[in-house]
Chains A and B, each alone.
Chain A
Amino acid sequence: MRQRFQDIDYLGVVLWLLRTGIIILVIWGSVATIIQNPYSSKTWMDFIVFGVAQGSLYALIAIGYTLVYGVLFMINFAHSEFFMSGIFTATILLANPMKASGFLDSHPFVGLGLITITAIIVSVAIALLTERVAYRPLRKAPRLVPLITAIGASFFWQYFFRGLFGSEVKPFPQIEGLIGKIPFLGTEILINQVVVIVVAIIMLIGLYIFVMKTKIGKSIRAVAEDKDTAALMGIDVDRAISITFAMGAAMAGIAGVLYAMVFRQVHFFMGFIPGIKAFTAAVLGGIGSIPGAAVGGFFLGMFESVGPSLFLQGLGIPAPHQLKDVIAFTMLVLVLIFRPQGILGERLAEKKA
C-alpha cells in the first residue's frame, strides 16, 4: 500500500495543477480584458513598443550577468553598480556641465559620444577593480563566498557614489535631435526609444559575433569550460576573465547611457531594480547564453509592459501595474517549470551519471 502510494507522482500532479492554474488565470484575464476592450489597438501597440524598449535595456544589462556567470558560475550582484557608476559619473561630470555651457545643444552627437565613452570607461574601470579585489582571490572558494563579496561590492559602490555625487535625483539633459516621435505601424514611437532598440540590437548582435567568431571570444568560451585546460592552450585565464568583465561592463555602460536618454534622470540607487530584472531576464532566457539574455530581456520587458493591462485588468484587480513584478516573476516560474534551463538555455544534460 505504502509502495503504491509512493508510486504516484504527486509532485507531478501539483506542478501540473500549478501551471494549468497560472495558464487558466492568464487566459481568463486576457479574454476578460479583450471583451471589456479598454484599449485601442494603438494603445496595445504602445504597450508593446514600451515593452521592447525596456526589454532592450534589460537585455543589455543581462549580458553582463550571463557572461560572468558563464565563465565564473557566479551571480555578479555588483553588475547593477557597473551600470549605475558609468552614467552617474558621466551625467554629473560631463552631461550637465555640457548642457549648462550650451555645448550639448550645439554639438549633440559629439556630446553624446563623449558621454558614452566616459560612461563605458568608468563602468569598465569599476568592474575591473571589483574583479581584481573582490573576486579574483576567491576564484576557487566555495561558490557562495564570491556571491557574498559581490553583494558587498554592490553596497560598497552604491554608497561610494552616493557619497561622491550625493543622494539627490540628478537630471540628465535632453539631447537635441532625439526629441520627438516618428510614425510607425499606425502609431508613433519616440525617437529615443527607437535609438534604444536599435543600439541594443546592434550591440547584442555584435557581441554575439565577437564571442562566437573572434579568437578572444573563443578563448573566453574555452575559459568558461575549463580554466586549467584553457591555460594549457596558452590562454591567459586572468586576462580572459578580465575581458569578460570588461565586455559586460561596457554593455552596462552603454545601457546606462540609453537609460539616461530615455528616462532623463540618474540616481545612485538606479541600478538596483534594473539589475534584478536583468538577472531575471538572464535566467529566463537561459543563463550563460547570450541570445538567451537578449530574448529573456525582451520577454521580460513585454510581460511587464503588457502583462498588467492584459492579464490583470480584465479580472478587475485594482492597481494592476503595481503587480507587474508579480507577473514577471510568475512568468519566470512558469517558464522554468516547462523549461528548467530557460528559454534558450542549453540542455543541462537530463541528469548526468
Chain B
Amino acid sequence: APKYECTDPLGCVTYAPGEPVRIASALVISGPNTDLGVDSQHGVEIAMQFRGQLLGHDIELQAEDDGCSAEGGQTAGQKIVSDPTIVAVVGTSCSGAGVPMSEVISEAGYVMVSPSNTAPSLTNPDEAWKPGYLRTAHNDKVQGKAMADFAYNELGVRKAAAIHDGDPYTEGLAKVFADSFEDLGGEIVMFTAVNKGDSDMRPVLAAVAAAGPPEFLYYPVFTAEGGFLTKQAKEVAGLENTILAAADGMISDAAIKAVGDAGEGMYFSGPDLSFSGDIYDKFLDAYETNYGSMPISVFHAHAFDAANMIFDCIEEIATQDKDGTIHIGRQALRTCLYNTKDFQGITGTLTCNQYGDCADPKISVSQLQNGAYVRIWP
C-alpha cells in the first residue's frame, strides 16, 4: 500500500492500530475554583464514554490543571504541546488561563475548545484571539446584556447597582451589565467592588444603600463572597426591598446552602440550564452513576459539547489506512471545527464564527424558590 503522506501545513497525528486517540483537558482541578473544572472534566469523560471509540480507536484523556491562572495555563499548555500524540484540548476553565494557553496551543498547531471561558477578549482578534481557539461557552457580553434586559424590561427597575470582586470574570460581567443597563436608560447608582476573601460586606452594602438605594443589586461573584453579600444585604438598612441578583458563579448546590433563607427570591443569570432531550437525561444518569452526585457547577454540558465537536470533526477529517491506522491533519481539524454549523449539543445548536465563538448564547434567568433554581425568563 502507498505510504500515507501528510500534507497538512500544521502536521498530522497518527495513531497505529490499538493506539488510543489522545485528547487533553486543561481545566481547573485544584485551588478554590476546583468545582468548576472538575464538573467540566466529568462532562468530557462522559462524552468519551458515550462515544466509545473513534474510528476503531479508544479515546484517552490526559487531564491537566490550568490552575485558574495565567501561569498555570501556560505551563499546562506547554505540557500538552510537548506530547505530539495529543490531538486536541478541551480547556481552559478560566479565561485568565485561556489567554496564554491559547497562544501556546495556537503556535504549536494544536486546537483547543474551552467549555467555560467567557471573557470577550478571547474571541476578539484585536485582543487575545489566536487561531486554534474556540469555545462553547457564551461570551460575557451576552450574559451581562441579558441581565440588564431582564432587570429593565422584565422587572421594570430603573435604579440598579453592581458589585464585583476583582475577578476578571466578575468584573467583566458587572461592567457589561452596568453599561447595558445605562444604555437601556436605567441609572447605575453605584458601581463598586469588594475583595475576594472579604467577609464583612456591610460597609460596602451600607454605602450602596446610601447611594440610592437601588431597586436592583447585581453581584455576579462566586459562592463565598456571594453568600456574605446575600445574607448581609438583608441586614443592612435601606436594602430591605432591593432585588438581589447574581450570576452563574453562584449557581450550585453549595451556593443554595450558603445563601440559605436570605437567598429566597433572588435572581441568577446564567447559561440556559433547562437543557432537555434524551441526551441530557442520559448524561445526567451517567453523571450520577459515575460520580455519585448530580453536576456541581454549570459547565459540564459545555464541556460535553466541546468534546463531541472535536470527536465529530476527527471522524470527519481523519484518513484511515487499511490496517486501521488513522491520520489527523491538525489544520484540517481546526478548519473543521471553525466550520461547525448547527451542531446539536446539549447546550443548544452550536455554530462557530471565524473567531471561535460557538455557543448558542441562550442566557436565562432563574429564581431561587424554596431552595431550588426555577427558570423564569425568558
A and B touch in the complex (CB under 8 A): yes
List residues of chain A with CB under 8 Å of any chain B CB: 38-40, 42-43, 46-47, 50-51, 53-54, 167-171, 174, 188, 190, 259, 263-265, 267, 269-270, 272-274, 304-306, 308-309, 313, 318-322, 324-325
Say whether A325 contacts B195, CB under 8 Å: yes
Q: Nearest Cβ distance between residue A186 and chain B, in whole angstroms? A: 12
Q: Does B292 contact A (CB under 8 A)?
A: no
| Leading 3 A-B pairs by shortest Cβ distance | A322-B193, A319-B193, A168-B254
Q: Does B61 contact A (CB under 8 A)?
A: no
Residue ID in chain B nearest A47 by CB atoms: B203
Say whether B199 contacts A274, CB under 8 Å: yes
Interface size of B by Cβ–Cβ distance < 8 Å? 36
Say whether A322 contacts B207, CB under 8 Å: no
Residue ID in chain A nearest B226 by CB atoms: A169
Q: Does B194 contact A (CB under 8 A)?
A: yes
A321: which of B35, B193, B235 is its contact (CB, 8 Å)? B193
Say whether B231 contacts A264, CB under 8 Å: yes
Q: Does B16 contact A (CB under 8 A)?
A: no
Q: What are the residues of chain A within 8 A of B231 when measuring CB–CB?
A: 263-265
Q: List 20 A-B contacts (CB under 8 A).
A: A40-B210, A51-B203, A53-B200, A168-B35, A168-B223, A168-B257, A169-B255, A169-B258, A171-B260, A263-B231, A264-B227, A265-B224, A269-B32, A270-B199, A318-B192, A319-B191, A321-B203, A322-B166, A322-B195, A324-B203
Q: What are the residues of chain A within 8 A of B224 when measuring CB–CB?
A: 169, 265, 267, 269
Q: Nearest Cβ distance between residue B263 and chain A, in whole angstroms? A: 10
Say whether A39 contacts B35, CB under 8 Å: no
Say whether A169 contacts B254, CB under 8 Å: yes
Say whether B260 contacts A42, CB under 8 Å: no
Q: What are the residues of chain A within 8 A of B254 when measuring CB–CB?
A: 168-170
Residue ID in chain B nearest A267 by CB atoms: B224
Q: Does B198 contact A (CB under 8 A)?
A: yes
Say whether B197 contacts A264, CB under 8 Å: no
Considering the chains assembled together, what is the distance between the CA atoms of A188 and B206 in angstroms? 13
Say whether B197 contacts A273, CB under 8 Å: yes
Say whether A305 contacts B32, CB under 8 Å: no
Considering the chains assembled together, what is the distance between the CA atoms of A51 and B362 in angstroms? 43
Q: Does B343 contact A (CB under 8 A)?
A: no
B32: which of A53, A167, A308 is its contact (CB, 8 Å)? A167
Say whether A319 contacts B192, CB under 8 Å: yes
Q: Interface of chain B, helix or strand or loop or mixed?
A: helix
Q: Nearest Cβ distance between residue A73 and chain B, in whole angstroms? A: 28
Q: Interface of chain A, helix or strand or loop or mixed?
A: helix
Q: What are the residues of chain B within 8 A of A40 when measuring CB–CB?
A: 210
Considering the chains assembled together, what is the distance between the CA atoms of A304 and B200 in angstroms? 10
Q: Nearest Cβ distance between residue B193 and chain A, in whole angstroms? A: 4
Q: What are the residues of chain A within 8 A of B35 when measuring CB–CB?
A: 167-168
- Enumerate B206-225 residues with CB–CB distance to A below 8 Å: 206-207, 209-211, 223-224
Say whether A43 contacts B260, CB under 8 Å: no
Q: Does B237 contact A (CB under 8 A)?
A: yes
* A43-B195 CB under 8 A given contacts A169-B258, A269-B32, A308-B203: no
Q: Nearest Cβ distance between residue A144 and chain B, in whole angstroms? A: 26
Say whether A272 contacts B260, CB under 8 Å: no
Beyond A39-B207, A47-B203, A304-B200, list 20 extra A-B contacts (CB 8 Å). A46-B202, A50-B206, A168-B254, A168-B257, A169-B227, A169-B258, A174-B260, A174-B261, A259-B199, A263-B199, A263-B231, A264-B227, A265-B231, A269-B32, A269-B224, A270-B199, A305-B203, A309-B206, A324-B195, A324-B203
Q: Does B204 contact A (CB under 8 A)?
A: yes
Considering the chains assembled together, what is the distance between the CA atoms of A272 and B231 in angstroms? 21
Say whether B203 contacts A171, CB under 8 Å: no
Q: What are the residues of chain A within 8 A of B211 when measuring CB–CB?
A: 38
Q: What are the residues of chain A within 8 A of B198 when measuring CB–CB?
A: 273
Say whether A43 contacts B206, CB under 8 Å: yes
Residue ID in chain B nearest A38 by CB atoms: B210
Considering the chains assembled together, what is the distance between the CA atoms of A73 and B34 in angstroms? 37
Q: Does B228 contact A (CB under 8 A)?
A: yes
Considering the chains assembled together, what is the distance between the CA atoms of A320 and B210 in angstroms? 14
Q: What are the residues of chain B within 8 A of A322 when measuring CB–CB?
A: 166, 192-195
Residue ID in chain A nearest B32 by CB atoms: A269
Contact mask for chain B residues 27-55; partner A; CB cutoff 8 A; 1 contact, 0 none: 00000101100000000000000000000
